[in-house]
């Protein structure tokens, strides 16, 4: 709002989880395993004083005017309006993939917040706290149809559904608020783990009773058979070793934030490729958490058989094209070069003489307009 003087801008904001001060709980030395492999865990429960300070609702909220959010579709689907901020875009003024992933995390936590089920401020319900259970994400798939621009007003919908006997699925849709055009679709799979034993757990009936009324049988991405991502080794084409987390990379549980994993993955892709392509899909399979003292290796292998037919363009070196236009930093040669459109990724941390997997990934790319 502009005050009566017409010269001062006044605004109220809420601190997003991706914007909070990094730090908090001490790291646990126990492994967290999903399907035989470890996965990142969510923060442990906060005490009553912290809960009171955060004003966590104890009953379901129909709307939240500060977050511009509401519960819709029979009181189960969460919908929030956000504006793309200046620091959330890259050089081309479009929202970065990191921004999109942060918005997915933020709206998921806000959904639980408004449900009245939130027990610890970071995703666990009251019944889960009684059984010492936390959520761990085992898989995520994000499809980007269009990247929002700086200042775009977005409407983000998220909802949950069942995934097998003991899992939960969470989906998202990001649309333009005015146009209704879909920018992003995403889906993820979550399972429960005992935070003391670090073993997967069946879903207690009390917890099932808490969350099952919120389940919607709808999918943002219709996946048929989920393709297993192959494990790479150090003989891959692109390898970046000795990556070390910074303090600002840590989340509330002293583990590296999941968004940083994606950043490390993409840093191994050649710069010339990134100048002319943008990511359209990413699949992540989580294996193990990464701490502040770990040393990480990022490995990337292009799929040589995934060259798009549109890439088969013959260069015409006409007299009107200067050599620097053809071969310069932002050259036609780079734009028209035959590049693979699919890459396989692996992040792993040093463990003695070997390595342990953190996350496997698969990315798909398209030419920038």
Least-confidence region, from 45-54, 223-232, 340-349: 45-54
At residue 54, φ and ψ (nearest 5 deg) are -85, -5
Q: Between 32 and 104, where is the model more confident?
A: 104
Torsion of CA 34, 130, 157, 50, to 10 degrees: -110
Q: 255, 258, 300, 345: which one is catalytic?
A: 255
Is the pLDDT at 169 greater than 60? The verdict is yes
Give the model's pLDDT for residue 121. Answer: 53
User: Nearest to residue 242, comparing CAs of 294, 289, 300?
Assistant: 294
- pLDDT category at 205 given cuts 50, 70, 90 is very high
Cα angle: 157, vertex 92, 143; to 5 degrees:
35
Q: Among this protein's residues, is 255 annotated catalytic? A: yes
Give the model's pLDDT for residue 368. Answer: 87
**Digit-coded pLDDT (tens) for 285-331:** 998 888 889 999 999 999 877 665 554 443 334 445 555 544 454 55
Contacts of residue 204, Cβ cutoff 8 Å, sequence gap at least 6: 127, 131, 133
Domain architecture of the chain: domains with CATH:
56-226 (3.10.129.10), 229-306+340-368 (3.10.129.10)
The three-class DSSP label of residue 323 is helix
Cα angle: 307, vertex 308, 309; to 5 degrees:
115
Taking each helix axis from N to C end, the angle separating 97-115 and 258-266, rounded to the nearest 10 degrees, works out to: 170
CA 308 to chain CA centroid, nearest Å: 26
Q: 253, 257, 258, 277: which one is catalytic?
A: 253
Q: Among this protein's residues, is 253 annotated catalytic? A: yes
Give the model's pLDDT for residue 269. Answer: 92
What would the DSSP string read from start to end of 83-130?
Answer: E--GGGB-TTSBB-HHHHHHHHHHHHHHHHHHHT-BSSSSS-BHHHHH
Mean pLDDT of the chain: 81
Share of the chain above pLDDT 70, in %: 78
| Structural contact between residues 159 and 171, judged by C-beta atoms closer than 8 angstroms | yes
Q: Model pTM?
A: 0.81
Q: Among this protein's residues, is 126 annotated catalytic? A: no
Q: 110, 290, 300, 345: which one is catalytic?
A: 290
Is the pLDDT at 45 greater than 50? The verdict is no
Give the model's pLDDT for residue 360. Answer: 97
**Digit-coded pLDDT (tens) for 85-130:** 999 999 999 999 999 999 999 999 899 988 888 876 567 888 998 9
Which whole number is the average pLDDT over 29-49?
A: 44
| Structural contact between residues 283 and 141, judged by C-beta atoms closer than 8 angstroms | yes
Burial 194-219 (b: 16+ CB within 10 A, else e): ebeebebbebbeebbebbeebbeeee
């Amino acid at each position: 709002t502009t005050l009566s003087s017409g010269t001062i801008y006044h605004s109220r904001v809420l601190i997003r989880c991706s914007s909070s001060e990094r730090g908090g709980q001490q790291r646990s030395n126990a492994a967290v395993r999903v399907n035989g492999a470890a996965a990142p865990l969510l923060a442990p429960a906060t005490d009553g004083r912290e809960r009171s300070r955060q004003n966590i609702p104890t009953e379901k909220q129909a709307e939240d005017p500060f977050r511009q959010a509401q519960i819709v579709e029979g009181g189960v689907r969460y919908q929030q309006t956000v504006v793309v901020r200046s620091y959330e875009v890259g050089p081309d003024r479009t929202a970065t993939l990191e921004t999109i992933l942060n918005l997915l995390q933020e709206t998921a936590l806000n959904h639980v917040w408004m449900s009245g089920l939130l027990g610890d401020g970071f995703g666990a319900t009251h019944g889960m706290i009684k059984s010492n259970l936390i959520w761990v994400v085992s898989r995520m798939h994000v499809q980007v149809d269009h990247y929002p621009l700086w200042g775009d007003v977005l409407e983000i919908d998220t909802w949950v559904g069942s995934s097998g006997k003991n899992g939960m699925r969470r989906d998202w849709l990001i649309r333009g608020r005015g146009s209704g055009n879909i920018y992003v679709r995403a889906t993820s799979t979550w399972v429960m783990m005992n935070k003391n034993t670090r073993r997967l757990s069946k879903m207690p009936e009390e917890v099932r009773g808490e969350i099952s009324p919120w389940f919607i049988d709808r999918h943002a991405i219709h996946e048929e058979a989920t393709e297993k991502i192959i494990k790479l080794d150090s003989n891959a084409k692109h390898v970046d070793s000795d990556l070390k987390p910074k303090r600002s990379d840590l989340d509330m549980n002293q583990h590296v934030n999941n968004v940083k994993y994606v950043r490390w993955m993409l840093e191994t892709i050649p710069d010339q490729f990134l100048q002319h392509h943008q990511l359209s899909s990413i699949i992540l399979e989580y294996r193990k958490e990464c701490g502040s003292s770990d040393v990480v290796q990022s490995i990337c292998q292009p799929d040589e058989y995934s060259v798009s037919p549109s890439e088969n363009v013959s260069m015409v070196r006409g007299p009107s094209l200067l050599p620097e236009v053809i071969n310069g930093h932002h050259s036609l040669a780079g734009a028209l070069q035959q590049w693979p459109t699919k890459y396989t990724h692996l992040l792993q941390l040093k463990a003695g003489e070997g390595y342990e997997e953190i996350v496997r990934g698969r990315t798909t790319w398209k030419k920038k307009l």
